[in-house]
Amino acid sequence: MHDVIVVGAGPAGSSAATHLARSGLDVLVVEKTSFPREKVCGDGLTPRAVQELKSLGVVTTGPGWFPTKGVRLLGGDRRLELPWPNGGLGLTRTRADLDEILARNAVRAGATLRENTKVTAPLTANGRVQGVRTSTGTHKARLVIAADGASSRLSVALGLRPRRDRPIGIAGRRYFRSPRHDDEYLEIQLDLAPAGYGWIFGMGDGTCNVGVAFLRTDHPDYHQLCSRWLASLPPSWGFTEDNAVGPLRGAALPMGFSRRPHYLPGVLLAGDSGGMVNPSSGEGISYALEAGRLAAEVITTAFRSPFPEHVLRKYPAAVNRANSTPFALGRAFTRALENPHLMRLATHQGLAHPPLMRTALRLLGGLPT
């Protein structure tokens, strides 16, 4: 019998496991893959994410960590460089590296990590989740955290399906060797297509992570759009087939709390499983790390309380409080993006008004003030 079983060792799961193990709890993390493993992502870490990494005790300097100064927004013939607010620091790091660092950090904190072990079903009794069934056996715990990503089979098995009234994104990324791999600004092309944008993130290791994101899943083939966009970029980026490292890979972005509730008796949802991707930016790592921390805080308090269930029921409100502004603004923003005329106008006008864009970056990105 464990105190907590964490399903999935992505940012949400490893963050929760680290914070829980540090407070002395017995934590089992079950991960279906083994590290290092690839995860389709833009690999961009905002100052929000860097703050969470610090709270996990992760050292974010040295080989592999590439510091960024801010974002460069492009639209029409305009471009605008916006430094991170308050001199904040951003980073890029491949997810193959980042997720292994986070998982090993959880183990160092005292959690037990079982790799190559897939959770196949929840164990339920008396209307409560009491553990999980895995490919290698059953495991019981006082609580379970579903941190198993966008498709979250565990949540689906508990009857929690994504809400249809929340935006869902689809994004694809590819790595290219590039002479501009050490660009210190995250470049974002705003007017790539209706409700879509493109990104170029320097990895500082000789490559760039290049990708496109769209709001709807019924968008025309993103492979084609990405190729067309790349062909239109200045040759100085070097995004040719010869410089490509691996294929374009895509995945879903569950946004704006698309799966709820975030607590059912015995189980808490953290990260993509609970649709915790910011609708206006597609950023999900910092929200996953944060939800893992909040879940750990609530669980630690609940285990010390004479009324644990009462405390656990407060977890959804804690997650909501942390993100209500950027997520509500983001949902409104995504509705506006669906209108190509409005989108063009906003891009054109916005890029001509740096103070407005600075405020938008801070508010929509939920960045520390």
Please state the φ and ψ torsions of residue 36, each to the nearest 5 degrees: -75, 145
Residue closer to ligand FAD (CB basis): 253 or 367: 253
Q: Cβ 353 to ligand FAD, closest distance in Å? A: 26
Q: Cβ 335 to ligand FAD, closest distance in Å? A: 21
Q: Cβ 357 to ligand FAD, closest distance in Å? A: 19
Q: Cβ 306 to ligand FAD, closest distance in Å? A: 32
Q: Cβ 196 to ligand FAD, closest distance in Å? A: 12
Residue closer to ligand FAD (CB basis): 145 or 353: 145
Residue closer to ligand FAD (CB basis): 204 or 211: 211
Residue number of the CB atom closest to ligand FAD: 284
Q: Cβ 352 to ligand FAD, closest distance in Å? A: 26
Residue closer to ligand FAD (CB basis): 191 or 283: 283
Residue closer to ligand FAD (CB basis): 144 or 302: 144
Residue closer to ligand FAD (CB basis): 102 or 346: 102
Amino acid at 334: T
Q: Cβ 205 to ligand FAD, closest distance in Å? A: 16
Residue closer to ligand FAD (CB basis): 94 or 130: 94
Q: Which residues bind ligand FAD (CB under 6 A)?
A: 7-13, 30-33, 39-44, 118-119, 147-149, 153, 171-173, 211, 251, 253, 271-272, 277, 282-286, 288
Residue closer to ligand FAD (CB basis): 136 or 305: 136
Beta carbons within 8 Å of 273's beta carbon, 6+ residues apart? 8, 12, 146, 147, 148, 149, 150, 152, 154, 155, 259
Q: Cβ 207 to ligand FAD, closest distance in Å? A: 14
